[in-house]
Structure 1
């Protein structure tokens, strides 16, 4: 084999190793957990809005207040969905911060005026 062939083979092997490591990173368990949490988050938001609209529509159907129940259900469902989404994101952030540990201490620079 010539030197060009050997260097080409080494280059190909290094690119293959890089691609395999990137693929392993994509398929890691942490990635799957993050995707599952994202889908759950979307489900909570969309589900809350749809349930609010559905209950508002049922209320309109049986009571006869045509658009009022539907609009109210939409607003309440949207509000509750946003509340649940913010609460879930806040809890997840708090858990990740606790898992990461304390922040590094940076020395205070007293020379600043």
Structure 2
């Protein structure tokens, strides 16, 4: 048993090994986390496009009602046109994102990535 005044050479080596294992686990988690963040960003972008299209249509309808004096029909028409265009835009973007995701998944399968997450073995705890 080492005395209290003697330096322990094994402690820094053990610490270095544990730090390297921790960094390897964190590095394996980064790509999966980035993929999930990108998915949520894409969802929020589609939602913003949908809401923005409806609001822009309402705004143009209100302007038409205000300056042409067409009553509520400008807003109704603007709402319908804005909703239709925003749904068309969102469906088109979602289709494009889906195609890109399927191409990425096919490339991952070809590279041998099974998508199972980090491949580092779990450590036993005492």
Name the TM tier (shorter chain): 0.5 to 0.7
Q: Answer yes or no: is 1:101 the counterpart of 2:106.
A: yes
Distance apart, 1:31 and its partner CA: 1.4
Partner of 2:45: 40
Distance apart, 1:34 and its partner CA: 1.1
Tell me the TM-score normalised to structure 1 length: 0.64
Distance apart, 1:29 and its partner CA: 1.1
Q: Answer yes or no: is 1:64 the counterpart of 2:73.
A: no
Name structure 2 gaps, 5 residues minimum.
Answer: 1-25, 110-126
SS class of match (2:55): helix
Structure having the higher helix fraction is 1
After superposition, residues 20-31 of structure 1 pair within 5 angstroms as 28-31=33-36
**Whole-Å separation in 2 of the counterparts to 1:42 and 1:89:** 11
Name structure 1 gaps, 5 residues minimum.
Answer: 1-20, 104-113
SS class of match (1:48): helix
Higher RCO (CA-CA < 8 Å; seq separation 6+): 2
Partner of 1:8: none
Q: Answer yes or no: is 1:54 the counterpart of 2:59.
A: yes
Count the aligned residue pairs: 81
